Amino acid sequence: MLENLKNQVLYANQALEKYGLVTFTWGNVSGFDPESRLMAIKPSGVPYQDLQTEDIVLVDLSGQAVEGSLKPSSDTPTHIELYKTFSEIRGIVHTHSDWGTAWAQAGQSIPCAGTTQADYFYGEIPCTRQLTKNEVEEAYEKNTGTVIIEAFKDRNPLEVPGVIVRGHAPFAWGTSPENAVHNAVVLEKTAKMTYLSRQLLSDPATENLEEYILNKHYERKHGKNAYYGQ
Protein backbone atom coordinates (compact mmCIF):
# COMPACT_ATOMS: atom_id res chain seq x y z
CA MET A 1 0.00 0.00 0.00
CA LEU A 2 1.24 3.51 -0.91
CA GLU A 3 4.53 2.14 -2.25
CA ASN A 4 5.41 5.40 -3.98
CA LEU A 5 4.98 7.39 -0.78
CA LYS A 6 6.98 4.84 1.23
CA ASN A 7 9.81 5.07 -1.32
CA GLN A 8 9.78 8.86 -1.10
CA VAL A 9 9.99 8.65 2.68
CA LEU A 10 12.79 6.06 2.50
CA TYR A 11 14.93 8.23 0.21
CA ALA A 12 14.20 11.36 2.23
CA ASN A 13 15.33 9.67 5.45
CA GLN A 14 18.51 8.47 3.78
CA ALA A 15 19.14 12.03 2.56
CA LEU A 16 19.40 13.22 6.17
CA GLU A 17 22.80 11.53 6.44
CA LYS A 18 23.83 12.76 2.99
CA TYR A 19 23.30 16.37 4.05
CA GLY A 20 24.85 15.98 7.51
CA LEU A 21 21.62 16.66 9.41
CA VAL A 22 21.73 13.64 11.72
CA THR A 23 23.98 11.75 14.11
CA PHE A 24 23.19 8.06 14.73
CA THR A 25 19.38 7.87 14.35
CA TRP A 26 18.59 11.35 15.67
CA GLY A 27 15.99 12.30 13.09
CA ASN A 28 13.06 11.17 11.00
CA VAL A 29 11.06 12.03 7.90
CA SER A 30 7.40 11.34 7.19
CA GLY A 31 5.10 11.82 4.22
CA PHE A 32 1.32 12.21 4.09
CA ASP A 33 -1.22 10.97 1.57
CA PRO A 34 -4.34 13.19 1.71
CA GLU A 35 -6.58 10.69 -0.09
CA SER A 36 -6.07 7.76 2.27
CA ARG A 37 -5.32 10.07 5.24
CA LEU A 38 -2.31 7.88 6.02
CA MET A 39 1.19 8.90 7.02
CA ALA A 40 4.36 7.00 6.11
CA ILE A 41 7.16 7.41 8.65
CA LYS A 42 10.56 6.02 9.60
CA PRO A 43 10.57 3.16 12.14
CA SER A 44 12.00 4.02 15.54
CA GLY A 45 15.73 3.59 16.09
CA VAL A 46 16.59 1.91 12.77
CA PRO A 47 19.86 3.14 11.18
CA TYR A 48 19.26 4.97 7.91
CA GLN A 49 21.62 2.74 5.93
CA ASP A 50 19.65 -0.33 7.01
CA LEU A 51 16.24 0.99 5.96
CA GLN A 52 14.22 -0.78 3.28
CA THR A 53 10.92 0.29 1.73
CA GLU A 54 9.07 -2.43 3.64
CA ASP A 55 10.39 -0.98 6.93
CA ILE A 56 8.52 2.30 6.47
CA VAL A 57 5.43 2.26 8.70
CA LEU A 58 1.98 3.46 7.62
CA VAL A 59 0.03 5.15 10.40
CA ASP A 60 -3.43 6.73 10.45
CA LEU A 61 -4.15 10.09 12.06
CA SER A 62 -5.36 8.43 15.24
CA GLY A 63 -1.85 7.01 15.68
CA GLN A 64 -2.68 3.42 14.77
CA ALA A 65 -0.18 1.53 12.61
CA VAL A 66 -2.00 0.06 9.61
CA GLU A 67 0.96 -1.48 7.79
CA GLY A 68 4.49 -2.45 8.82
CA SER A 69 6.01 -4.81 11.36
CA LEU A 70 8.21 -2.24 13.12
CA LYS A 71 7.31 0.46 15.63
CA PRO A 72 6.94 3.92 14.06
CA SER A 73 9.14 6.82 15.16
CA SER A 74 8.61 8.01 18.71
CA ASP A 75 7.92 11.44 17.18
CA THR A 76 4.87 10.11 15.31
CA PRO A 77 2.35 12.04 17.50
CA THR A 78 4.11 15.32 16.67
CA HIS A 79 3.91 14.62 12.94
CA ILE A 80 0.24 13.70 13.27
CA GLU A 81 -0.66 16.96 14.99
CA LEU A 82 1.07 18.95 12.26
CA TYR A 83 -0.63 17.08 9.41
CA LYS A 84 -4.01 17.48 11.09
CA THR A 85 -3.56 21.25 11.44
CA PHE A 86 -1.34 22.27 8.50
CA SER A 87 -3.55 20.80 5.79
CA GLU A 88 -1.31 21.71 2.84
CA ILE A 89 1.92 20.06 3.97
CA ARG A 90 2.90 16.62 2.65
CA GLY A 91 6.24 15.98 4.32
CA ILE A 92 7.83 16.63 7.73
CA VAL A 93 11.46 16.41 8.89
CA HIS A 94 12.74 16.40 12.45
CA THR A 95 16.45 16.41 13.21
CA HIS A 96 18.89 17.34 15.94
CA SER A 97 21.18 19.12 13.50
CA ASP A 98 23.98 21.07 15.16
CA TRP A 99 23.17 24.68 14.33
CA GLY A 100 19.40 24.47 14.47
CA THR A 101 19.61 22.69 17.81
CA ALA A 102 21.98 25.35 19.15
CA TRP A 103 19.27 27.98 18.58
CA ALA A 104 16.71 25.66 20.19
CA GLN A 105 18.88 25.23 23.28
CA ALA A 106 19.34 28.98 23.46
CA GLY A 107 15.56 29.37 23.20
CA GLN A 108 15.84 31.91 20.37
CA SER A 109 14.07 32.39 17.07
CA ILE A 110 16.34 32.71 14.03
CA PRO A 111 15.98 36.26 12.69
CA CYS A 112 15.95 36.77 8.94
CA ALA A 113 19.31 38.44 8.59
CA GLY A 114 19.94 37.83 4.91
CA THR A 115 18.63 36.87 1.52
CA THR A 116 19.52 33.17 1.82
CA GLN A 117 16.86 32.73 4.48
CA ALA A 118 14.48 35.14 2.74
CA ASP A 119 14.47 32.94 -0.37
CA TYR A 120 12.76 30.18 1.61
CA PHE A 121 11.41 31.59 4.88
CA TYR A 122 9.23 34.69 4.85
CA GLY A 123 10.74 36.20 7.97
CA GLU A 124 12.18 34.73 11.13
CA ILE A 125 12.13 31.03 11.94
CA PRO A 126 10.20 31.05 15.23
CA CYS A 127 11.17 29.36 18.46
CA THR A 128 8.28 27.83 20.41
CA ARG A 129 7.59 28.35 24.07
CA GLN A 130 8.85 25.79 26.58
CA LEU A 131 6.53 22.87 27.25
CA THR A 132 5.11 22.79 30.75
CA LYS A 133 5.77 19.93 33.18
CA ASN A 134 2.21 18.65 32.71
CA GLU A 135 2.52 18.78 28.91
CA VAL A 136 5.69 16.71 29.04
CA GLU A 137 4.30 14.15 31.47
CA GLU A 138 0.86 13.79 29.85
CA ALA A 139 1.67 13.50 26.12
CA TYR A 140 5.11 14.84 25.36
CA GLU A 141 5.29 14.21 21.62
CA LYS A 142 1.70 15.25 20.95
CA ASN A 143 2.19 18.45 22.92
CA THR A 144 5.38 19.18 21.01
CA GLY A 145 3.06 19.45 18.02
CA THR A 146 0.74 21.68 20.05
CA VAL A 147 3.42 24.26 20.85
CA ILE A 148 4.55 24.30 17.21
CA ILE A 149 0.98 24.98 16.12
CA GLU A 150 0.72 27.77 18.72
CA ALA A 151 3.81 29.42 17.22
CA PHE A 152 2.04 29.54 13.85
CA LYS A 153 -1.14 31.21 15.05
CA ASP A 154 -0.31 34.26 12.91
CA ARG A 155 2.01 32.60 10.40
CA ASN A 156 1.49 30.65 7.19
CA PRO A 157 3.32 27.30 7.52
CA LEU A 158 4.05 27.20 3.79
CA GLU A 159 5.64 30.66 3.93
CA VAL A 160 7.69 29.72 7.01
CA PRO A 161 8.32 25.97 6.52
CA GLY A 162 10.18 25.31 9.74
CA VAL A 163 10.39 25.94 13.47
CA ILE A 164 12.74 25.66 16.44
CA VAL A 165 11.29 23.81 19.44
CA ARG A 166 12.67 25.45 22.56
CA GLY A 167 15.18 23.26 24.36
CA HIS A 168 14.73 20.53 21.76
CA ALA A 169 15.54 20.83 18.06
CA PRO A 170 14.22 21.93 14.66
CA PHE A 171 11.32 20.66 12.57
CA ALA A 172 10.79 21.50 8.92
CA TRP A 173 8.10 20.60 6.42
CA GLY A 174 7.09 21.04 2.81
CA THR A 175 4.98 19.95 -0.13
CA SER A 176 6.63 16.50 -0.22
CA PRO A 177 9.14 14.53 1.88
CA GLU A 178 11.90 15.64 -0.49
CA ASN A 179 10.85 19.28 -0.24
CA ALA A 180 10.74 19.01 3.55
CA VAL A 181 14.36 17.79 3.56
CA HIS A 182 15.31 20.69 1.28
CA ASN A 183 13.79 23.13 3.75
CA ALA A 184 15.52 21.39 6.67
CA VAL A 185 18.87 21.84 4.91
CA VAL A 186 18.16 25.53 4.35
CA LEU A 187 17.11 25.95 7.98
CA GLU A 188 20.39 24.41 9.16
CA LYS A 189 22.50 26.52 6.80
CA THR A 190 20.78 29.77 7.78
CA ALA A 191 21.01 28.87 11.47
CA LYS A 192 24.78 28.64 11.01
CA MET A 193 25.09 31.76 8.85
CA THR A 194 23.03 33.89 11.22
CA TYR A 195 24.94 32.69 14.27
CA LEU A 196 28.26 33.51 12.60
CA SER A 197 27.11 36.92 11.34
CA ARG A 198 25.79 37.75 14.82
CA GLN A 199 29.35 37.40 16.15
CA LEU A 200 30.38 40.30 13.92
CA LEU A 201 27.67 42.66 15.15
CA SER A 202 28.07 45.07 18.02
CA ASP A 203 24.28 45.50 18.07
CA PRO A 204 22.33 42.33 17.21
CA ALA A 205 19.21 44.44 16.70
CA THR A 206 20.69 45.57 13.38
CA GLU A 207 20.76 42.04 11.99
CA ASN A 208 17.24 41.92 10.52
CA LEU A 209 17.01 42.16 6.75
CA GLU A 210 15.15 45.20 5.43
CA GLU A 211 11.53 44.29 4.70
CA TYR A 212 11.66 45.40 1.07
CA ILE A 213 14.61 43.03 0.45
CA LEU A 214 12.84 40.21 2.30
CA ASN A 215 9.75 40.73 0.14
CA LYS A 216 11.76 40.81 -3.10
CA HIS A 217 13.68 37.63 -2.38
CA TYR A 218 10.72 35.65 -1.10
CA GLU A 219 8.39 36.73 -3.89
CA ARG A 220 10.84 36.03 -6.71
CA LYS A 221 10.64 32.32 -5.78
CA HIS A 222 7.06 32.11 -4.47
CA GLY A 223 3.64 33.30 -5.61
CA LYS A 224 2.12 34.39 -8.90
CA ASN A 225 4.97 36.74 -9.84
CA ALA A 226 7.83 34.33 -9.10
CA TYR A 227 10.51 34.31 -11.78
CA TYR A 228 13.37 32.25 -10.28
CA GLY A 229 14.14 28.98 -12.08
CA GLN A 230 13.03 27.45 -15.37
Q: Identity (one letter) of the amino acid at 149? A: I
Span between the terminal Cα atoms of the chain, in Å: 34
What are the chain's domains? 3-219 (3.40.225.10)
User: What is the predicted pLDDT for the residue at 144?
Assistant: 98
| pLDDT, position 223 | 82
Question: Tell me: the pLDDT tens digits for 71-116?
Answer: 999 999 999 999 999 999 999 999 999 999 999 999 999 999 999 9
pLDDT tier, 15 (very low <50, low <70, confident <90, very high otherwise): very high
Neighbours of 146 (CB within 10 A): 17
| Nearest in space to 188 (alpha carbons), one of 119, 99, 87 | 99
pLDDT single digits (tens) 25-58:
999 999 999 999 999 999 999 999 999 999 999 9
CB 173 within 8 Å of CB 86: yes
SS3 assignment, position 70: coil
Please enumerate in sequence order all residues whose Cβ is within 8 A of that of 116, keeping only pairs 6 or more positions apart, or say none: 186, 189, 190, 193
Give the pLDDT of residue 216.
87
C-alpha span between 137 and 144 (Å, rounded)? 12
Q: What is the pLDDT of residues 163-216, one digit of tens each?
A: 999 999 999 999 999 999 999 999 999 999 999 998 888 776 657 888 898 888
**Per-residue pLDDT at 210:** 87
Q: Given the residues 119, 140, 212, 227, select the one marked as catalytic.
A: 119
The per-residue pLDDT for 214 is 87
What is the identity of the amino acid at 76? T
Higher pLDDT, 218 or 66: 66
pLDDT tens, position by position, 126-173: 999 999 999 999 999 999 999 999 999 999 999 999 999 999 999 999
Q: Which strands, in side-by-side order, build the sheet including 91-95?
A: 65-67, 57-60, 38-41, 27-33, 91-95, 170-174, 162-164
Report how far residue 122's alpha carbon sits from residue 187's, in angstroms, rounded to the nearest whole number: 12
Q: How far apart are CA 171 and CA 192, in angstroms?
A: 16
Instruction: Let me know: does 13 contact 50? Beta carbons within 8 Å.
Output: no
Q: Is the model more confident about 142 or about 226?
A: 142
Question: Minimum mean pLDDT among 9-18, 168-177, 218-227: which range?
Answer: 218-227
Element containing residue 40 per DSSP (H, E): strand 38-41
The neighbouring-strand residues paired with 67 are: 58
Residue 50 to residue 181: CA distance in whole angstroms: 19
Respond yes or no: is residue 119 known to be catalytic: yes
Rounded to an integer, what distance in angstroms lies between the CA atom of residue 68 and that of residue 160? 32
Q: What angle do CA 194, 23, 68 make, to 5 degrees?
A: 120
